[in-house]
Structures are given as C-alpha cells and as structure tokens.
C-alpha cells in the first residue's frame, strides 16, 4: 500500500513535461544544495593510515571542515540491503530489499515497500540528480535525472550481481531517467560501464594470477575514469539541488586483494602477495574522484560522504557464521568480507561539511547510523521526517540547528 502511494506520485512526475518542472522550480526560493557521495565498503582501518600519510588530501579537507565518524550499519550488511536502508530509513525487512537476491530475484527498485528519499525530495519540489547509486535499477521517475548503478542488468551481466553492462547494453529495465537523456549521455560522455567489473573466478586466476589481477585492476581504473567524467558532466551540465553519486570498485577490490598477512584465513601468496597496495590504492583513486567533485561545488553546498559498511579479513568463526559468503563472491577466492552477522564488526563511515556544520568534529562510538542519513537530508531541506523513518536527524553535527539549515 505504501509502495502504491509513492509510486503514483512518481508516475505524476513521469507524466509532467520536464520544462514545466523547470518553470515551477524557477519561481520557488533557492533551496540548499546537497551532494552525497556513496562509497561502497569504505574501511576506516585502511583509510586512517592513508590520511596520516597525506595520500587522501581531499577527504582530509572534508574532515577538517566538517564532522565525521563511524556509521552503525545493519546486520549482515551488503550493498543493496544498506543502500535501501539509506533511501528509506527503515529496516531491511520493512523496505523489502534484504540482499542481492530476494526470493530468487535480483534486488530491484520494484521491490521497495517504503518511500525512498528521492521521491520525498521530488514531491517537495527539490531537484534530484542521482548517478551510479547502488540498487536504483530500474530507475524511477524523479524531479531531475537518475542513472542506475550496481545491480543494473544487461549483456554479460544478465543477473546484475557484481558486474556491469555498458550503458548501451542494459536490458530488463531503464538505466536512465528521463529516457531521452540516454542518447545525450552516449553522445557526450560515451558508452560507459554502469558499475564496477565482476571479480575474476578461481579458474580465471589459476596459473595466471598476476596477469588476471593486473588486467582487472586496469579495468577498474578505466571504469573509475569514466565515472569521473560522467560526474563532472552531470555536475556542470545538469546541476541539481540534491545530487547523489556512487562508487563501488573499492569494496570489490577489498574482497580478494585485502592486504592480509600470511597468518590470515585464505592467504595465497600467488594472489595476496602480488599487489598488496591494490586495495589502499582504491581509496587514493577515490580521493581523486572526490577532488573532481569538490571542484564543482561551492562553499554553500553540503557535501556528505557515506559508506554502507566496512570490510574486514575473514574471521575464525567463518565456519559457523550463517551469513558466510552470502550470495556475493561467486568463485573468487575472497580473503575479506562484510556480511558478518554483527554489523558492528564492519561499521560504515560518515563525513559531512557545509553551512553550519561543525568543523573537525569526531562522532564517537555509534552516535550515527545508516538510518540517520535520510532524516538528516530531509532536515537540511526543512522537510518533516515521516513517521516510518527509524533514524534521527544528526543535529549534533550542526552549530545551531535553528539557523544552520533552510527555514521551513
Ligand atoms: Zn562487498
């Protein structure tokens, strides 16, 4: 019932000519600008040494100018499960996207049983732009644009799980809203990969470990370069009041190239001693993407960086963990994972800066959770938190919550 309610509102957006929405927006008073950058599986244990070494200057600048800390995640966290919690601030059992596969079907937006934030913002006249955000396929109508991310299905990625078709190869639903924007993107950005590359299988690796690792890492960088170009294009040519961009190669690299020691579970020197910098390098590469995004935002823009969970080397209790290797890694020899039954083993992370947000504030313990993102964004826009949302506004990050945010 809830789903029907919000999908009907979204169908109205689908029916409205884009020009009309633009006119309506021009007559309204200026709204806050928020850019959210989602990083799949950002691990603070790996990030912190890089920050100390000065290898992530852009994230360092966000920390100095803002608030940051761990983000309590859900149990057995994985990308679609947590992202749909970000979208709705409800439990996985409530929003319906409980994992990569739900009832034998790859998770998709038609399964969402609670209203996502892009719908609430759109209804309140906020322009919305989303690109490569996980679990947004097939795309849904918004007051702006949406380009799907992880779990998009298509050629060479028929199940949509941890692989990606090119934009021209998408099947089984739309990857771009409004549909006319697809041709524009193909012309001006190119035929980019929607999401990160599938990890090599055990058979692909055997006897060709170094070549397979290097080839995969090269592809990951190609995909990241394409994403950077896409984000730059969108931020310059299609600026929106609320923008959400996603990155997901970091997590996948961590699963099988986490720089573990020989005593860790699963250590294989042919794979794990070859490119020990590959995983930290992903965050250095992410920092460059962040730098490109920061160039396109002004001081009055809220920038929020969130990760859905961390990632840790396999543990001694793997054998009895009911969530071990849950529908995620196929045959890749993984040495790290995040779907631990206790989500507190692999917290996500949160970084925010912008007008009225405290500087250099560290959130201690588990003050912030994945449920709090949507209420906090609604708060910035002066939109009341709906009753079903389980999180709270992170008011502690604001200097003065009365004057710091948009007046209602
Ligand atoms: Zn993962």
Residues 204-228: pLDDT tens digits? 999 999 999 999 999 999 999 999 9
More confident call, 401 vs 395:
395
pLDDT in tens, 131-179: 999 999 999 999 999 999 999 999 989 988 888 899 999 999 999 999 9
Between the CA of 151 and the centroid of ligand 1 the distance, in Å, is 13
Between the CA of 235 and the centroid of ligand 1 the distance, in Å, is 28
pLDDT of residue 25 exceeding 60, the answer is no
Between the CA of 256 and the centroid of ligand 1 the distance, in Å, is 10
Between the CA of 137 and the centroid of ligand 1 the distance, in Å, is 18
Between the CA of 124 and the centroid of ligand 1 the distance, in Å, is 34
Between the CA of 309 and the centroid of ligand 1 the distance, in Å, is 9
HEC per residue, the chain: CHHHHHHHHHHHHHHCCHHHHHHHHHHCCCCCEEEEEEECCCCHHHHHHHHHCCCCHHHHHHHHHCEEEEEECCCCCCHHHHHHHHHHCCCHHHHCCCCCEECCEECCHHHCCCCCHHHHHHHCCCCEEEEEECCCCCCCCCCEEEEECCCCCECCECCCCCCCCEHHHECCCCCEECCCHHHHHHHHCCCCECCCCCCCCHHHHCCCHHHHHHHHHHHHHHHHHHHHHHHHHHHHHCCCCEEEEEECHHHHHHHHHCCCCCCCCCCCHHHHCCCCCHHHHHHHHHHHHHHHHHCCCCCCEEEEEEECCCCEECCCCHHHCCCCCCCCCCCCCCCEECCCCCHHHCCEEEEEECCCECCCEEECCCCCEHHHHHHHHHHHCCCCCCCCCCCCCCHHHECCHHHHCCCC
pLDDT in tens, 311-348: 999 876 555 554 444 445 567 888 999 988 899 999 99
Between the CA of 34 and the centroid of ligand 1 the distance, in Å, is 26
Between the CA of 334 and the centroid of ligand 1 the distance, in Å, is 10
């Amino acid at each position: 019932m809830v789903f029907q309610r919000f999908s009907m509102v979204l169908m109205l957006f689908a029916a409205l000519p884009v020009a009309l929405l633009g006119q309506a927006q021009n007559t309204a008073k200026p709204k806050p600008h928020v850019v959210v950058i989602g990083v799949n599986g950002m691990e603070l244990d790996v990030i912190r040494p890089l920050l100390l070494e000065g290898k992530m200057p852009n994230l360092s600048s966000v920390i100095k100018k803002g608030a940051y800390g761990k983000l309590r995640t859900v149990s057995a966290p994985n990308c679609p499960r947590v992202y749909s919690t970000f979208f709705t601030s409800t439990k996985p059992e409530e929003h319906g996207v409980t994992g990569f596969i739900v009832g034998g079907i790859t998770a998709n937006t038609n399964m969402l049983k609670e209203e996502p934030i892009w719908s609430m913002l759109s209804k309140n006249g906020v322009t919305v732009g989303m690109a490569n955000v996980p679990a947004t396929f097939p795309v849904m109508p918004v007051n702006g644009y949406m380009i799907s991310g992880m779990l998009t299905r298509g050629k060479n990625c028929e199940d949509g799980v941890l692989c990606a078709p090119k934009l021209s190869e998408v099947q089984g639903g739309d990857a771009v809203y409004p549909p006319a924007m697809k041709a524009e993107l193909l012309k001006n950005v190119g035929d980019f990969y929607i999401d990160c590359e599938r990890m090599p299988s055990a058979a692909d690796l055997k006897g060709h470990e170094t070549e397979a690792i290097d080839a995969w890492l090269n592809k990951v960088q190609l995909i990241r370069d394409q994403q950077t170009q896409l984000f730059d294009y969108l931020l310059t040519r299609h600026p929106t009041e609320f923008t959400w961009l996603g990155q997901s190669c970091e997590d996948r690299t961590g699963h099988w190239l986490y720089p573990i020691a020989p005593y860790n579970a699963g250590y294989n020197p042919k794979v794990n001693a070859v490119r020990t910098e590959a995983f930290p390098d992903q965050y250095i590469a992410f920092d460059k993407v962040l730098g490109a995004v920061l160039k396109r935002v002004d001081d009055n823009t809220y920038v929020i960086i969130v990760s859905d969970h961390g990632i840790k080397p396999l543990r001694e209790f793997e054998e009895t963990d009911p969530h071990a290797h849950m529908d995620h890694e196929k045959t890749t020899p993984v040495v790290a994972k995040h779907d631990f039954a206790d989500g507190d083993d692999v917290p996500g992370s949160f970084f925010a800066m912008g007008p009225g947000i405290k500087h250099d504030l560290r959130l201690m313990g588990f003050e912030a959770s994945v449920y709090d993102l949507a209420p906090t964004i609604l708060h910035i826009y002066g939109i009341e938190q709906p009753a079903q949302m389980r999180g709270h506004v992170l008011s502690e990050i604001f200097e003065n919550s009365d004057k710091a945010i948009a007046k209602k």
